[in-house]
A and B are shown apart, each in its own frame.
Chain A
Amino acid sequence: MPRVAVVRFPGSNCDFDTLRAAEGTGADAYFVWHREADLRGADVVILPGGFSYGDYLRSGAIARFSPIMQTVQRHAGAGGPVLGICNGFQILCEAQLLPGALMRNAGLTFVSKPVDVTVERTDTAFTCDYDPDSRLRLPVAHGEGRFVAAPDTLRMLEAEGRVVLRYVAATERSPFQPNPNGSANHIAGICNADGNVVGIMPHPERAAERLLGLTGGSGFFTSMVTSHQDSSNSGV
């Protein structure tokens, strides 16, 4: 079973939900405080949602300089899987582990509701249990989730197939909940060039068991286990 480090920053508030969702797969999940420098042998690192450092200056801008982030950078650089959820995604962008930035929602309001997304990338450590082009209903809860990147960066992300999750487009009489924040190309989640670092705005940990009303997010956590077993079996 993979060892899963859930990093807690001052202001993280999805840490327990994320730990529980990871534990639900049988993974050996534990918290790591942001002041620590050791990930304690983690196979997988998750940066959970919340409002690290009160979102001061910009979301994720200060958390990026926490001591643990240097270790997370090394883990990512060595090909280790890293998932950033919501504020975790913002931190990964600020740390330049992922391109682009997350800006104030186009509608200015904090959006907290379920939205529909398509899983476009199913070869990552967090999405390998999904079928290609699966459609999921996942909660979002953010004020700054509008993905923005330079035009050539956006073209590169599309050309290299690095959009992991995409909000469905708004169409008349569609039963689906569309892009909630004005994100470029309806992007809800992306990965780095190697596919081991993934950032997503929706909260799979809030949709990971029947009691929560939605279960579509559990695949993010079972995928960690599947990919860990695959890499163990192949002797990597």
Chain B
Amino acid sequence: MTYRVHVRVMPRSGLLDPQGQAVEHALGALGFDEACNVRVGRAIELAVTADSRDEAVTRARQMCDKLLANPVTEDYLLQVEVD
């Protein structure tokens, strides 16, 4: 079975996110004064072949822990669905 994995990696809350600040500043300059707490992360998509959804989740989690996210500075969210 092939599963589609969506990984959302975000800078850990509490850490300075200068990219988010810059985007927030730019939104304010465009008149979107209501925008606040902007944070910039990254999205990664991949396909995983696995026997079950649980196995796909486990493998995807290992990928995140080893490479896709930095455990010191980032948190991630996984979404796994049948491709």
- The complex places the Cα of A121 from the Cα of B76 at a distance, in Å, of 36
B18 near A100 with CB under 8 A, answer no
A61 near B72 with CB under 8 A, answer no
A residues within 8 A CB of B22? 108
Tell me the smallest distance from the CB of A53 to a CB of chain B, in Å: 12
B68 near A57 with CB under 8 A, answer yes
Chain B residue with Cβ nearest A62: B67
Question: What's the dominant secondary structure at chain B's contact region?
Answer: mixed
> Provided the pairs A57-B67, A57-B68, A61-B67 are in contact, do residues A101 and B18 lie with their beta carbons within 8 angstroms?
no
How many A residues touch B, CB cutoff 8 Å?
21
Interface of chain A residues 90 through 108 with chain B (CB within 8 A): 93-94, 99-101, 103-108
Chain A residue with Cβ nearest B68: A57
- Quick check: is B73 within 8 A (CB to CB) of the other chain? yes
Among the listed B18, B67, B68, which residue makes an inter-chain contact with A104, where contact means beta carbons less than 8 Å apart? B18
Chain A residue with Cβ nearest B19: A104
Chain A residue with Cβ nearest B16: A106
- Quick check: is B15 within 8 A (CB to CB) of the other chain? yes
- The complex places the Cα of A149 from the Cα of B72 at a distance, in Å, of 7
Chain A residue with Cβ nearest B15: A148
Among the listed A65, A94, A104, which residue makes an inter-chain contact with B70, where contact means beta carbons less than 8 Å apart? A94
Write the residues of chain B forming the contact surface with A, with a CB cutoff of 8 angstroms. 11, 15-16, 18-19, 22, 67-68, 70, 72-73
Write the residues of chain A forming the contact surface with B, with a CB cutoff of 8 angstroms. 57-58, 61-62, 65, 93-94, 99-101, 103-108, 146, 148-150, 182
Can you list 17 A-B pairs with a CB-CB distance of less than 8 A?
A: A58-B70, A61-B67, A99-B72, A101-B70, A101-B72, A103-B11, A103-B16, A103-B73, A105-B18, A106-B16, A106-B18, A108-B19, A108-B22, A148-B72, A148-B73, A149-B72, A150-B72
